[in-house]
Amino acid sequence: MCGRFAVTLPNEAMAQLFNAAPANDLPDVPNFNTCPTTQIHVVEPGARRLLRPMRWGFIPQWYDKPNGGPLLINARAETIAEKPAFRAACRARRCLIPCNGFYEWTKDPDGNRLPWYITRRDGAMMVFAGVWQDWGPDDNRMRTCAMVTIGANTPMRQIHHRMPVILEPENWGKWLGEEGHGAASLMRPSSDDVLQFHRVGTSVNSNRAQGPDLIQEIPAG
């Protein structure tokens, strides 16, 4: 799964990367500790792609308030087409969620949470498969999203048993529905050589922590 991530690429550069029109109310960057329920950068399809903010935390239409049920920040690829919360979005409302890296945690023998920072080996922007849903009354609609996860590949299983579905640039259009059918075939773990990870300090355990020090490598011992 993924519960925190970092975004450091400037908004204009991000829009250029996806050939997307940037919205005027994009979240501030850099953000080294992006947390659930906050606004995040999302790319959605259209006559021209749009880079826009969405609430990270998918809200099904039957929730009577944003916290009217479980917080849905991740959607399992294995069941996304069947779950009532996600099945319509999986067919018709897919999006891209960009970041520079994400965090996962292991535990030491004493139960202390040890954070790791995961990035692409090639240094490129990481792009997660996502789905979105509008929620709320017409005069106060909220666009919300979740990232799609899958069972972890071999290296990632050292840290966590699941990982986000990471899309390569040649598959962005297919996931967005710009190139016809076939998006389901993209819901798979990334190749074992795509990602790298290192231990970071426990400051990131606080959702209020910020700054580039959060992603700095520390000895893993």
Question: How would you label 140-174 residue by residue, b for 16+ Cβ within 10 Å and e otherwise?
Answer: eeebbbbbbbbebbebbeebbebbbbbbeeebbeb
> Would the CA dihedral through 37, 215, 159, 41 be positive or negative?
positive
**Percentage of residues of the chain with pLDDT beyond 70:** 99
DSSP string covering 126-185: EEEEEEEEEES-GGG-EEEEEEEEEE--TTGGGT-SEEEPBPPGGGHHHHHTTT-S-GGG
Helix (H) or strand (E) holding 216: none
Is pLDDT at 1 greater than 80 in this prediction?
A: no
Domain boundary assignment for the chain: 4-101+125-191
pTM given for the model = 0.96
Is pLDDT at 140 greater than 90 in this prediction?
A: no
CB contact set of 169 (below 8 Å; sequence gap of 6+): 127
For the stretch 18-76, pLDDT in tens is 999 999 999 999 999 999 999 999 999 998 999 999 999 999 999 999 999 999 999 99
Is pLDDT at 154 greater than 80 in this prediction?
A: yes
Is pLDDT at 114 greater than 80 in this prediction?
A: yes
| Record: fold of 4-101+125-191 | hypothetical protein yedk fold (3.90.1680)
For the stretch 155-171, pLDDT in tens is 999 999 999 999 999 99
Q: Mean pLDDT across the stretch 107-131?
A: 96
Least Cα distance to 97 among 73, 63, 128, 134 occurs for 128
Q: How confident is the model at residue 141 (pLDDT cuts 50, 70, 90)?
A: very high
Q: What is the pLDDT of residue 221?
A: 64
Q: Mean pLDDT across the stretch 87-103?
A: 97
Is pLDDT at 121 greater than 70 in this prediction?
A: yes
Q: What is the pLDDT of residue 72?
A: 97
Q: How confident is the model at residue 220 (pLDDT cuts 50, 70, 90)?
A: confident
